[in-house]
Amino acid sequence: EAQLVESGGDLVQPGSSLRLSCAASGFTFRDYYMGWFRQAPGKERELVASVQVMDSPTYYAASLRRRFTISRDNARSTLYLQMTQLKPEDTAVYYCGASPTIIVPGSPITYWGQGTQVTVSS
């Protein structure tokens, strides 16, 4: 059974950094495109960043490109999201997703994780 498990979410102050992880199992991780998504209260889920099978970033939301970095470790079947200079508007549940095809906004996602909460507040 395919499974994605996110971790690393926390309550942090504005300006802080966090690294999220997404551990994959039950499918061939290296064959899947991976993405990080987020959903803030009252808003739709949005694509934050996505990465190709060989750790080459495909997409970043324009407003996040300078602060967030997506990466993957195929040997560990793990996806990462390094977030810096966090702002209150980054508060959301962050999800990872997997697809056999490239991930851009609106792409169908085959597997979803359960999400991890990131709260940015002073």
Q: State the CB neighbour count (10 A cutoff) for residue 98.
A: 22
Question: In this predicted structure, what is the pLDDT of residue 63?
Answer: 87
**pLDDT band per the 50, 70, 90 thresholds, residue 71:** very high
Please say if the pLDDT value at position 53 is more than 90.
no
Please say if the pLDDT value at position 57 is more than 80.
no
Question: In this predicted structure, what is the pLDDT of residue 13?
Answer: 98
Could you report the per-residue pLDDT of 90-110, keeping only the tens digit for each?
A: 999 999 999 999 999 999 999
Compute the C-alpha angle 67/73/76, nearest 5°.
135
**pLDDT band per the 50, 70, 90 thresholds, residue 48:** very high
